[in-house]
């Protein structure tokens, strides 16, 4: 048995890849991006609320945030997606019919918010106490001091971790296929899997994998970029300023 030809039949069947490519692009890629982007936005908003509650000095605000985080971080994503996606559909079908898509986004967002909330909380907590003290000494209220001074700095520090979370969301978006999607709602993984089943080889799934990498690899480079900038500041810009000042001083 020729190992190479077996592998190539399984993974590199160009014909089946070519056949599924248009659908992969027009339906799969689009849906994956919509699912990921919608849950990034919703998850980030919810996550910020969770973080602010978790940092509150009032116990009755802190506790719900902690419990929320424990639950959604502690459950397997697939279980949360099924519980919410199927469990809530009898209620939501009154609004948008038996469409699992919005509930999939909701489930992904709720999971993401637990992680993103923790990321924001740690970032905000890492900002020196003197920052809020200085803001308050100038006359800012606690809320404006947090909003204008502390939170912007905290968020900047956790941008790399935040982008990592976005990468995880892109990958986890594949799990909504368990909810049973309409043909037009299928994302990359589902389309790859369907085509793989039809063709009897895994090449379409490999193609789906390549599409995932096309989305996630640039994001990992974005993480590295943020990381580098956090460590080294923005040298080019500051040099610019110094140069301008020199020119100014020499005038």
Partner 1 sequence: MQTVEAASLEVSGVELAFGSNKVLRGVDLVVPAGQTACVIGPSGSGKSTLLRAINRLLEPDAGDVKLGGESVLRGDADVLRRRIGMVFQHFNLFPHKSVLDNITLPLRKIKKLDAEAAQAAARAQLELVGLAHKAGARPGNLSGGQQQRVAIARALAMQPEVMLFDEATSALDPELVKGVLALMADLAEAGMTMVVVTHEMGFAREVADQVAFMDHGVVVESGVPEQIFDAADSPRLRQFLSQVL
> Quick check: 230 binds partner 1 (CB under 8 A)?
no
Q: Minimum Å distance from CB 165 to partner 1?
A: 22
Q: Which of 10, 92, 153, 216 binds partner 1 (CB under 8 A)?
A: 153
Of 41 and 246, which CB lies nearer to partner 1 in the complex structure?
Answer: 246
Min dist CB 162 to partner 1, Å, is 16
36 or 127: CB nearest partner 1: 127
- The piece of 61-69, 126-134, 179-187, 198-206 that touches partner 1 (CB under 8 A) is 126-134
Instruction: Choose between 67 and 243: whose C-beta lies nearer to partner 1.
Output: 243
Name the minimum Å distance from CB 198 to partner 1. 53
Cα 57 to chain centroid distance, Å, stands at 29
18 is an interface residue for partner 1 by CB under 8 A: no
Q: How far is the CB of 141 from partner 1 (least distance, A)?
A: 5
Q: Does 131 bind partner 1 (CB under 8 A)?
A: yes
Query: Judged by CB under 8 A, which of 140, 199, 209, 223 binds partner 1?
Result: 140
Shortest distance, position 56 Cβ to partner 1, whole Å: 19
Taking alpha carbons only, the member of 175, 49, 37 closest to residue 100 is: 175
Residue among 59 and 248 whose Cβ is closer to partner 1: 248
Tokens representing residue 178 in the block: 């368990």
* 248 in contact with partner 1 (CB under 8 A): yes
| C-beta separation of 124 from 111 below 8 A | no
Instruction: Pick the binder of partner 1 from 136, 193, 206, 223 (CB under 8 A).
Output: 136
Structural tokens at position 19: 């056949």
CB-count exposure of residue 65 (10 Å: 0-12, 13-18, 19+): buried
Instruction: Decide: is 126 part of the binding site for partner 1 (CB under 8 A).
Output: no
Structure tokens at 216: 């996630």
Angle at CA 47, nearest 5°, toward 42 and 51? 160
Query: For partner 1, which residue of 130, 231, 236, 250 counts as binding (CB under 8 A)?
Result: 130
Q: Of 6 and 238, which CB lies nearer to partner 1 in the complex structure? A: 238
> Which positions lie near partner 1, rule CB under 8 A?
128, 130-131, 133-141, 144, 148-149, 152-153, 156, 233-234, 238, 241-242, 244-245, 248-249
């Amino acid at each position: 048995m020729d190992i190479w030809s077996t592998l190539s039949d399984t993974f590199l069947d160009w014909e089946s890849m070519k056949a599924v490519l248009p659908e992969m692009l027009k339906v799969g890629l689009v849906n994956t991006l919509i699912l990921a982007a919608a849950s990034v936005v919703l998850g980030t908003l919810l996550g910020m609320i969770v973080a602010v509650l978790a940092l509150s000095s009032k116990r009755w605000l802190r506790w719900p945030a902690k419990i929320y985080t424990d639950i959604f971080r502690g459950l397997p994503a697939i279980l949360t997606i099924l519980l919410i996606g199927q469990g809530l559909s009898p209620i939501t079908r009154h609004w948008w019919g038996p469409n699992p898509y919005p509930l999939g986004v909701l489930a992904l967002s709720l999971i993401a918010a637990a992680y993103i909330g923790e990321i924001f909380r740690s970032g905000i907590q890492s900002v020196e106490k003197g920052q809020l003290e200085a803001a308050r000494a100038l006359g800012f209220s606690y809320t404006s001091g947090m909003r204008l001074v502390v939170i912007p700095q905290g968020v900047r520090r956790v941008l790399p971790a935040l982008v990592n979370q976005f990468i995880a969301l892109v990958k986890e978006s594949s799990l909504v296929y368990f909810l049973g999607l309409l043909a037009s709602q299928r994302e990359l993984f589902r389309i790859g899997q369907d085509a793989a089943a039809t063709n009897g080889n895994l090449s379409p799934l490999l193609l789906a994998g390549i599409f995932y990498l096309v989305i996630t690899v640039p994001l990992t480079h974005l993480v590295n970029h943020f990381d580098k900038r956090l460590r080294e500041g923005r040298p080019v810009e500051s040099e610019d300023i110094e140069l301008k000042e020199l020119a100014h001083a020499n005038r």
